[in-house]
């Protein structure tokens, strides 16, 4: 039992942090994408712990890159078909009258969730997908469609789509996390995952994505806490640093505790995704997602309060992180939905009795 | 103790409600969601303000001799409740009517009263307040803006921030240091300054919502006549405290009435999204209702004390503190209710309201400072800061 | 619109406070009962506001008297039959397999809640009641029984019961709020409220009792807050009063706000019970009960924390008030139940739309 | 990073689990609810402690030369997890094993080691800790108990409070002032005192649960030989800090393992009362689970740091703070689940646990003090007190 990051993992994390702190990372997104490909962030041998360490740093930097959708949403489906995710990619699953979330798509009592996008015998796909993350940026588009035997995952080249996928604006508060609509008007597609395996792959996609976003949330929280501590140490009022007031310092101490426990859960969930996939990893991921999301929102809110007046100005960068925190808080459901999922795992069915043991 | 309107109050309320139903312009945003921004259309605010004045609803509590109606704070409270429920806009001179006017009545010279008061009532003059400074923050006695005597004039240099709607205003009630050698709250003076005087620069402060409700005001050797001083030179602390006391008076009613509007919209949103049957959502809505009701009746209790003793009861001090938290919780809940990725206007509306609400625990006295005040002045605990 | 207490109401409150502060009030309960009867606390002309002011002071003193059950639980039924409550009285409604709470008894979808206590044609009643407040102390026992036309309220003389009602111990944490079992083995009873009126009277009983207990909770909270403020002012640590720490002072400031809003709601609810009975008063009472109960628990917990080590000793009287606070928190349902009731009133049915207006 | 037990750890865990299954006495209260009070039956605790020692589970991390097993903190953590899950009692010398013994090993004389350590392991000697005082509270440097030198003896006079299980103990690690002229943390010394010495009076402190887990100890001219001093005279602050550091070491595992037992009982209670289908209850149970898991994995993270660097990571400081809140929330929820007036043993059990939990945010460092420590020492904020 050893929870310590290895020296390699620490170097990996620190290299990412260093790159993201450089202004080059905030520049042109094509160049940044080329950089991160070169840095190995899309390599297939990376474990989920290594990916989570990256996600944490991307959250810390509030990177706009569609890396998370490429690796988290599209990656498992591409890899299941022996392909490597190299280009910006995403997954299209939500439909207007069909499944809104991955959780709904996977819900056992409604397999497929009433999906209306279909695939024909010649492999062309037809229908409309909504709320597709990074729809306008993605080059490789993994689409979930209803085939004759159930849900299939197929690959569509976004450049072949007419009309092109649209950017319908931010899916929430964060403009760097846009979502859009994808019209599939009988466009050619390549098979990735057949109906008999799609349930497992979609579950793996959701597990991995939620684990990465939990780590990203911890990165957001860490950055906000660091800003708040810095401000509380340097800003003076009534003749002394404001951090000398327990009214300022104690919420930051509480926040530190919240962020560190969220970090423990995020690392543990990432480890669990690879080491113990199934109900144990699902619980680990849900717990990490709840704690990470709550920590990110709380950290930004406490930081804004610590900054006082300047905290809610546009010029103060805090609100960009707060927007990301809110996007995270509502991706594929809320923390209340995640707690409901945990409760079902803990309280319902035979496995419930043993659940608390892990 | 009788919580019903008196016959006279009921008549006032009925007349007002009737007038509001006829006079409030209808503005609706996307898909039934409210139009954004109370002050987006300044011309509409101006014309509604003129209508308010004409109908006799501007300066309700001002003495009749200064153009007011001479009514009780209860009438003011009824006005605030009803106009919020009708989703009516505020008079464009909200700071002039509620804070600067009463300060001029209490501390100003006859000439100041004669010139400013009627113009505040009609909306011809729009006031903002210039108290906060970048370095002073919550500590008003650390004000550094200097007003140097030069013959019959004061020459003002300094910078004010967080002035609400200063970019719409043409006048400012300014707190400045007239005696640079006196420390803390001594040596301050309050001035009535025309913002169109050379040397004044007003820059809107963009909030994290992307909008600008506040501005910073820079004074660079701005020459102000000596008769612009309210009260005596060096009397600024007392005058400023008078202004802030008026801010606290029935302001709780404004805040609570706004919260009630928000609560109604929350219920409408939960229904529109089909979330009103979710037990967790129902529990939260009920909790928000209890908070709203707690504020509503605490306001009325404080008002009774104000009417009996002339000063608001100590309960008043908790209203802003608890209102700000209640509003933040309400808007966060609403964002969660509309976070399912189906845009319908309400989602954008609530996200903007939620972001805006984060300022509630900071603006007009941070929650930390309010807790200090309650602990020390109401509970009598030893000074902790 | 005037929320101020009248001079008479203030005198009434202060007289009660003065009596309860005297050690005589803590003495023999028969003598105390005689005293409070003499002080007029059972008089029929008292409005609910006056009763609430008494309840608040009784909570402040944590009086063990069965006054609340006499006036709140039994009073409305006795008065409906033209009787005056003079002796300790209570209401017996709960049954093992029947209604557990007054709310359940009143629930529209299960009138009577499956009650098994019955009344025969000769007026004798038969069955078993459980969780009867002050069962062993009450002399007059109002019992809810199933008659041929529905629920009836009837009066039983407790001294006639064989076996005598038992004290089964505290109904929760507070030993001064005991409950017991009442065996009705064909005992004579007097009619108080017939089936056609019992729903309204039971609703009035619940409304009044919850309003009085909301005021009692405010009294509990006020006392705990006062203790905590006193201790924070006088106890020194690290060379100064502990109240000079914001970590101590700010929770007390928050608590003050919580207690004062709860007080506003409690007074308003009491007024509403008389002035606007029906759904408006029901909402007012539920809101006051939620706020009062939460304030009482929070006040005691904050006070215990303020006292530090001595706060959780038996000798420190705080825990007696904390026990009362917990009894209050769970009487006839929890705050979650009360919020569910509020939600139904606000969100369901036609009246929902207008509800927030009052 | 590998969160699985190593082969060696897995074997240790399996052996322990097996031993516990055979050796933990079964005690059950009314209707399946747990029997009350971990220490109600002192004889049972004594005999279980002897069994623990015999099986080699006492002093796991102590060096082999002092009778320990010389195992890593990970083994200690596994021991704590498994014994809590098996609902096993604690060794009667929990303070001696976890705090006093390690202090004697680190700072004591060879003679002290030879005499005390084996007796602590067997349970022959039971230690308590005498640090807190009525006036000192959270401020240990304000200790007033005096140990006056008189020839080869020290004469101790003073009063200690909040000493856990002092009424069961026969020895005390005492922090006293040997130099009355030195202020604050100078001039203190740590002594090993036999509580059966004339002049010692131990009085149990009754808690609000009605039980007594703590005691106050009065010393009235108690004569203690000079060789009872641990380390040097005047070295007491350093020695006491060593003791407290050992308290913090793997104590988080003990707390978290107790919380896990409580969580399992919460789930059992919710099921027994048919409340496990209520969405509000389910939401709360899931929230408590996330808190428990957060503590569990934070402990393991801190342990990894301890193993690599010899000092626990800064995360350790948050465990007690968050554990105490999590435990209070859990027990309050359980009381609400059993508050329907149907007594079944669980209701009394949870009420007692809930009352007891109110001390969690006070004992062993109040939450306020812990926040000060985190703010100042971990976050580097300016001193605020």
Tens of pLDDT, residues A8-61? 999 999 999 999 998 888 777 889 999 999 999 999 999 999 999 999 999 999
Q: Distance from A242 to chain C by nearest Cα, in Å?
A: 13
Alpha helices (H) in C24-182, listed in sequence order: 29-38, 48-60, 67-68, 75-80, 102-106
Average pLDDT across chain A, whole number: 93
Position D215 pLDDT exceeds 50: yes
Nearest CA in chain C to B322: C257
Are both C244 and C263 inside the same structural domain?
yes
Set of chain D residues whose Cβ sits within 8 Å of the Cβ of A342: 286, 289-290
How many degrees, rounded to 5, is the angle at CA D135 between CA D133 and CA D140? Answer: 55
Interface test with B, best of C6, C50, C241, C260 (most B CBs within 10 A): C260
Q: Are residues A3 and D293, on separate chains, in Cβ contact within 8 Å?
A: no
**How confident is the model over B186-217, as pLDDT tens digits?**
899 999 999 999 999 999 999 999 988 899 99
Position C352 pLDDT exceeds 70: no
Of C166, C195, C224, which residue constitutes the final position of a domain? C195
Confidence of residue C353 (pLDDT cuts 50, 70, 90): very low
Are both C340 and C245 inside the same structural domain?
yes
Q: Distance from A142 to chain B by nearest Cα, in Å?
A: 20
Output the pLDDT for position B85: 87
Set of chain B residues whose Cβ sits within 8 Å of the Cβ of D280: 279-280, 283
Q: Distance from B224 to chain A by nearest Cα, in Å?
A: 29
Q: Which residues of D are catalytic?
A: 247
Output the pLDDT for position B45: 86
CB-nearest to C314 from D208, D351, D359 is D208
Q: What are phi and psi of D117, to 5 degrees?
A: -60, -50
Of A195, A225, A260, which residue constitutes the final position of a domain? A195
Inside any domain, residue A55: yes
Beta strands in C189-282 (DSSP E): 190-193, 236-237, 240-241
Q: Which residue has the higher pLDDT, A177 or D183?
A: A177
Catalytic residue among B9, B153, B218, B247: B247
Position C272 pLDDT exceeds 90: yes
Region C346-351: mean pLDDT is 78
Q: What are phi and psi of D13, to 5 degrees?
A: -60, -45
DSSP structure string for D154-167: EEEEEEEEEEETTT
Are both A117 and A67 inside the same structural domain?
no
Are both C214 and C339 inside the same structural domain?
yes
Region B47-54: mean pLDDT is 92
Of C176, C195, C214, which residue constitutes the final position of a domain? C195
Are both A229 and A255 inside the same structural domain?
yes
How many degrees, rounded to 5, is the angle at CA A64 between CA A61 and CA A66? Answer: 120
Q: Tell me the C-alpha distance between D385 and D370, whole Å.
A: 12
CB A90 within 8 A of CB A110: no
**How confident is the model over C280-312, as pLDDT tens digits?**
999 999 999 999 999 999 999 999 999 998 899
| pTM metric for this prediction | 0.95
Within 219-248 of C, beta carbons closer than 8 Å to A belong to 245-247
CA-based nearest residue to B106, from B217, B242, B14: B242
Kindly give, in sequence order, each residue whose CB lies less than 8 Å from that of residue C11, ignoring residues fewer than 6 positions away.
none
- 3-class DSSP state for residue A5? coil
Are both C48 and C114 inside the same structural domain?
no
Q: Distance from D316 to chain B by nearest Cα, in Å?
A: 28
CA-based nearest residue to A345, from A276, A285, A266: A285
Chains within contact range of chain B (3+ C-beta pairs < 8 Å): A, C, D
What is B127-234's CATH number, 1.10.3720.10, 2.40.110.10, 2.140.10.10, 3.40.50.2300?
Answer: 2.40.110.10
Output the pLDDT for position C151: 95
Position D385 pLDDT exceeds 70: no
Exposed, middle or buried: residue C40 (CB in 10 Å: 0-12, 13-18, 19+)? middle
Set of chain A residues whose Cβ sits within 8 Å of the Cβ of C250: 246-247
Q: Are residues B3 and C340, on separate chains, in Cβ contact within 8 Å?
A: no
Give the count of domains, chain C: 3
Q: What is the residue whose two structure tokens read 């995360």?
A: D315
DSSP structure string for C17-35: HHHHHSGGGGS-HHHHHHH
Measure CA D49 to chain center: 16
Residue B247 is among the residues annotated as catalytic for this protein: yes
Q: Tell me the C-alpha distance between D300 and A57, whole Å.
A: 22
Inside any domain, residue C234: yes
**How confident is the model over A298-316, as pLDDT tens digits?**
999 999 999 998 899 999 9
CB C219 within 8 A of CB B357: no
Tell me if the domain spanning B250-377 has CATH number 1.20.140.10. Answer: yes
**How confident is the model over B220-268, as pLDDT tens digits?**
999 999 999 999 999 999 998 888 877 666 788 889 999 999 999 999 9
Chains within contact range of chain C (3+ C-beta pairs < 8 Å): A, B, D
Are both C293 and C205 inside the same structural domain?
yes
Q: Tell me the C-alpha distance between C219 and C62, whole Å.
A: 8
- 3-class DSSP state for residue B213? coil
- 3-class DSSP state for residue B361? helix
Q: Tell me the C-alpha distance between C351 and C345, whole Å.
A: 7
Half-sphere CA count of D384, side-chain side, radius 13 A:
34
Output the pLDDT for position A357: 39
- 3-class DSSP state for residue C317? coil
**How confident is the model over D302-323, as pLDDT tens digits?**
988 888 887 777 777 799 999 9
CA-based nearest residue to B290, from C284, C328, C218: C284
- What's the topology of domain B7-92? Butyryl-Coa Dehydrogenase, subunit A; domain 1 (1.10.540)
Are both C208 and C330 inside the same structural domain?
yes
CB C115 within 8 A of CB C153: no
Inside any domain, residue C358: no
Chains within contact range of chain A (3+ C-beta pairs < 8 Å): B, C, D
> How many A/D residue pairs have CB atoms within 8 Å?
174
Tokens of A309: 């007046």
CATH of residue A160's domain is: 2.40.110.10
Half-sphere CA count of C134, side-chain side, radius 13 A:
24
**How confident is the model over B302-360, as pLDDT tens digits?**
988 888 887 777 777 899 999 999 999 999 999 999 998 777 788 999 999 999 999 99
- Chain region(s) in chain B for CATH 2.40.110.10: 127-234
Are both A180 and A220 inside the same structural domain?
no
Position D138 pLDDT exceeds 70: no
Are both A116 and A150 inside the same structural domain?
yes
Inside any domain, residue C80: no
Inside any domain, residue A80: no
Q: Distance from D289 to chain B by nearest Cα, in Å?
A: 18
Tokens of A156: 């569509």
Q: Are residues D282 and A343, on separate chains, in Cβ contact within 8 Å?
A: yes
Confidence of residue C356 (pLDDT cuts 50, 70, 90): very low
CB B173 within 8 A of CB B141: no
Region D185-200: mean pLDDT is 94
Cα A270 to Cα A215, A267, A287, C219, D2: the distances in Å are 8, 5, 12, 51, 11
- 3-class DSSP state for residue C234? helix
Are both C268 and C295 inside the same structural domain?
yes
Position A355 pLDDT exceeds 60: no
Q: Are residues C340 and B279, on separate chains, in Cβ contact within 8 Å?
A: yes
Region C100-122: mean pLDDT is 86
Q: What are phi and psi of C105, to 5 degrees?
A: -65, -35
Structural domain boundaries, residue A108: 86-195
Region C272-277: mean pLDDT is 95
Q: Which residue has the higher pLDDT, A82 or B94?
A: A82
**How confident is the model over C74-93, as pLDDT tens digits?**
999 999 999 999 999 999 99
Confidence of residue B370 (pLDDT cuts 50, 70, 90): very high
Are both A187 and A237 inside the same structural domain?
no
Kindly give, in sequence order, each residue whose CB lies less than 8 Å from that of residue D15, ignoring residues fewer than 6 positions away.
none
Inside any domain, residue A264: yes
In sequence order, the β-bridge partners of residue D129 are D173
Q: What is the residue whose two structure tokens read 């530090």?
A: C308
Region B164-187: mean pLDDT is 88
């Amino acid at each position: 039992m050893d929870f310590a990051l290895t020296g390699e993992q620490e170097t990996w994390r620190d290299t990412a942090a260093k790159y993201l702190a450089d202004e080059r990372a905030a520049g042109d997104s094509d160049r940044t994408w080329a950089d991160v490909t070169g840095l190995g962030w899309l390599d297939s041998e990376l474990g989920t712990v290594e990916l989570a360490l990256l996600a944490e740093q991307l959250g810390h930097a509030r990177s706009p890159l569609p890396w998370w959708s490429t690796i988290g949403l599209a990656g498992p489906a591409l890899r299941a078909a022996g392909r490597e995710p190299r280009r910006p990619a995403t997954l299209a699953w939500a439909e207007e009258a069909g499944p809104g979330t991955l959780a709904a798509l996977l819900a056992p009592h409604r397999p497929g969730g009433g999906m209306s996008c279909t695939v024909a015998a010649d492999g062309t796909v037809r229908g409309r997908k909504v709320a597709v993350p990074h729809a306008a940026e993605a080059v490789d588009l993994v689409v979930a469609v209803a085939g004759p035997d159930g849900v299939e995952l197929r690959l569509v080249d976004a450049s072949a789509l007419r009309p092109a996928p649209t950017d319908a604006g931010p899916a929430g508060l964060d403009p760097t996390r846009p979502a859009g609509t994808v019209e599939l008007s009988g466009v050619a597609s390549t098979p990735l995952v057949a109906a008999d395996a799609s349930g497992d792959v979609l579950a793996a996609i959701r597990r991995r994505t939620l684990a990465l976003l939990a780590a990203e949330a911890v990165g957001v929280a860490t950055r906000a806490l660091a800003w708040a501590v810095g401000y509380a140490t340097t800003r003076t009022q009534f003749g002394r640093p404001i951090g000398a007031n327990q009214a300022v310092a104690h919420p930051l101490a509480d926040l530190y505790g919240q962020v560190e426990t969220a970090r423990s859960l995020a690392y543990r969930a990432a480890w669990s995704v690879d080491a113990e996939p199934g109900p144990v990893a699902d619980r680990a991921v849900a717990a990490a997602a709840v704690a990470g999301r709550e920590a990110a929102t709380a950290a930004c809110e406490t930081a804004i309060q610590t900054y006082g007046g300047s905290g809610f100005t546009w010029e103060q960068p805090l609100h960009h992180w707060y927007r990301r925190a809110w996007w995270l808080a509502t991706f594929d459901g809320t923390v209340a939905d995640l707690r409901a999922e945990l409760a079902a795992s803990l309280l319902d069915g035979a496995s419930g009795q043993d659940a608390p043991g892990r | 103790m009788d919580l019903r309107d008196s016959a006279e109050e009921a008549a006032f309320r009925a007349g007002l409600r009737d007038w509001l139903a006829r006079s409030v312009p209808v503005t609706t945003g996307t898909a039934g969601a409210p139009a954004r921004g109370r002050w987006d259309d300044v011309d509409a605010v101006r014309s509604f303000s003129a209508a308010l004045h004409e109908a006799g609803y501007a300066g309700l509590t001002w003495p009749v001799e200064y153009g007011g109606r001479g009514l009780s704070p209860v009438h003011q409270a009824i006005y605030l409740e009803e106009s919020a429920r009708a989703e009516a806009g505020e008079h464009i001179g909200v700071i002039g009517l509620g804070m600067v006017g009463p300060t001029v009545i209490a501390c100003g010279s006859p000439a100041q009263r004669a010139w400013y008061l009627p113009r505040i009532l009609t909306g011809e003059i729009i006031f903002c307040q210039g108290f906060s400074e970048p370095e002073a923050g919550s500590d008003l006695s650390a004000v550094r803006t200097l007003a140097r005597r030069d013959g019959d004039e004061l020459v003002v240099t300094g910078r004010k921030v967080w002035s609400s709607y200063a970019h719409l205003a043409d006048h400012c009630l300014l707190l400045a240091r007239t005696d640079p050698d006196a420390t803390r709250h001594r040596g301050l003076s309050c001035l009535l300054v025309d913002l169109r005087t050379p040397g004044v620069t007003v820059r809107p402060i963009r909030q994290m919502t992307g909008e600008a409700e506040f501005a910073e005001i820079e004074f660079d050797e701005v020459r102000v006549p000596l008769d612009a001083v309210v009260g005596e030179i060096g009397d600024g602390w007392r005058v400023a405290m008078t202004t802030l006391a008026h801010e606290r008076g029935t302001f709780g009613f404004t805040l609570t009435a706004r919260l009630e509007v928000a609560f109604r919209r929350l219920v409408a949103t939960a229904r529109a999204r089909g979330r009103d049957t979710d037990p967790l959502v129902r529990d939260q809505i009920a909790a928000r209702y209890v908070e709203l009701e707690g504020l509503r009746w605490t306001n009325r209790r404080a008002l009774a004390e104000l009417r009996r003793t002339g000063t608001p009861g100590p309960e008043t001090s908790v209203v802003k503190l608890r209102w700000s938290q209640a509003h933040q919780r309400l808007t966060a809940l609403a964002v969660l209710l509309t976070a399912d990725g189906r845009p319908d206007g309400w989602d954008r509306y609530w996200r903007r309201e939620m972001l805006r609400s984060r300022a509630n625990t900071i603006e007009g006295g941070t929650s930390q400072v309010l807790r200090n005040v309650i602990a020390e002045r109401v509970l009598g605990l030893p000074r902790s800061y």
